[in-house]
Amino acid sequence: MEKKIAVITCSNACLDYISPNLDIKVFRSSIHLGDESFVDFTEITSDEFYKRLEADKSLFPSTSYMPLGQMIEIYEDLVKDGYTHALVIPISNQMSGIYNASIMAANEVKELDVTVFDSLTVAYPEAKMVLEAIKMVDEGKDIPEIVKELEYIRDNNKIYFAVNTLTYLVKNGRLSNASGFIGGALKIKPVLTISKEGKVETVEKIRTFKKAVDRVLEMYFRETKGLDVEPFIIHANNEETKQYIIEKLQEDNPELKDIVTMPLTAGVGAHAGPKTIGLGYYIKK
């Protein structure tokens, strides 16, 4: 039987916003707002989500990943479509249970050989891995070769976030070193990063959002000096700061024309909170 490989991701890669016509399976999280629940992107977009939060400050969002039964159905549908193998690239296992759930669901579908690759990240770096995997599958590459390339991307990207409010990250338990952010300290605008282990960690505690954004830029410029990098910006409904960062990047390098930007999908924004901005880079080979 001829090998046929499917690529699967989760909605936390935010791929819907940069490759809307991508024909792949997505493990979509659900967003819970009060008594209502929405499937990420298909039932609520990032724009709609942040507008809801701005309009009603009492709303506190939470998320849940796709139920195991639905993941099993996706795997079974792939088998029906003639797929023999699947490569799943989800959000970091330190940020969500999707990684483990993907493996548990795969154990129930013996006809499909499933490889689950831990991206150890979220948003654009995860999306980049997915797009590279799709390209390599189209080129006829096998899973071990694809995984090797994904490992390179995973080991050669970095992202820093300036967060406008810590409330969401702390309440949802997504900040791995949250001790010290109690009471009034939640007013601090920290700079966060995603560690090599795939955890959201605090880099510095800063008093104003503007200073946090400038600190993110400082670290970006210091770390990328002399390197050939692809920059990217991720934001939670924060066009103004996105434009500010683009201007600063182009001031530093006038030849920089195309900068990848993407909104943080609702499933991630529920934890990061409105106005969060991320600036990252991928070191090219």
- Domain end residue (candidates: 122, 155, 188): 155
Domain end residue (candidates: 136, 155, 174): 155
Q: What is the mean pLDDT of the chain?
A: 93
Q: Are residues 169 and 278 in the same domain?
A: yes
Same domain, 147 and 25: yes
Asked whether 95 and 122 are in contact (CB, 8 A), the reply is yes
Look up the CATH number of the domain holding residue 146: 3.40.50.10440
Kindly state whether residues 141 and 214 are assigned to the same domain: no
Are residues 131 and 172 both part of a single domain?
Answer: no
Task: Please compute the mean of the pLDDT values over residues 58-87 and round it to a whole number.
Answer: 97
Is residue 40 situated within a structural domain?
no
Q: Are residues 9 and 144 in the same domain?
A: yes
- 147 and 181: one domain? no
Choosing from 155, 180, 208, the residue where a domain stops is: 155
56 falls within a domain: no
Tally the residues of the chain.
285
Average pLDDT for residues 222-230, to the nearest whole number? 97
185 plus 138 within the same structural domain? no
Task: Annotate 34-51 with DSSP letters as a single string.
Answer: TTEEEEBTTTB-HHHHHH
Position 225 scores a pLDDT of 96
- On the question of pLDDT at 136 being above 50, the answer is yes
The pLDDT value recorded for residue 22 is: 92
CATH number of the domain bearing residue 175: 3.30.1180.10
Q: Would residue 98 count as lying in a domain?
A: yes
**pLDDT tens across 102-133, in order?**
999 999 999 999 999 999 999 999 999 999 99
Q: What percent of the chain has pLDDT over 70?
A: 95
* 202 in the same domain as 114: no
At residue 71's C-alpha, the angle toward residues 100 and 128, to 5°, is 70
State the residue range of the domain holding 239. Answer: 157-283
In-domain check, residue 110 = yes
pLDDT surpasses 80 at 176: no
Same domain for 149 and 251?
no
Whether residue 166 is found in the same domain as residue 148: no
pLDDT at 184 over 60: no
Residue 253 lies in a domain: yes
pTM value is 0.94
pLDDT in tens, 210-224: 999 999 999 999 999
Tell me the average pLDDT across 77-85. Answer: 98
Together in a domain, 125 and 261 = no
Task: Please check the confidence at residue 180 and state whether its pLDDT lies above 80.
Answer: no
Domain identity same for 140 and 186: no
In a domain, 59, yes or no: no
Q: How many domains does the chain have?
A: 2
Residues 6+ away with beta carbon under 8 Å from 32: 61, 62, 63, 64
Confidence of residue 188 (pLDDT cuts 50, 70, 90): confident
Q: Could you give the CA distance from residue 218 to residue 241 in angstroms, rounded to a whole number?
A: 15
The answer on pLDDT for 79 being more than 80 is yes
pLDDT exceeds 50 at position 81: yes
Tell me what percent of the residues of the chain surpass a pLDDT of 90: 84
More confident position, 186 or 267:
267
- Confidence label for 162 from pLDDT (cuts 50, 70 and 90): very high
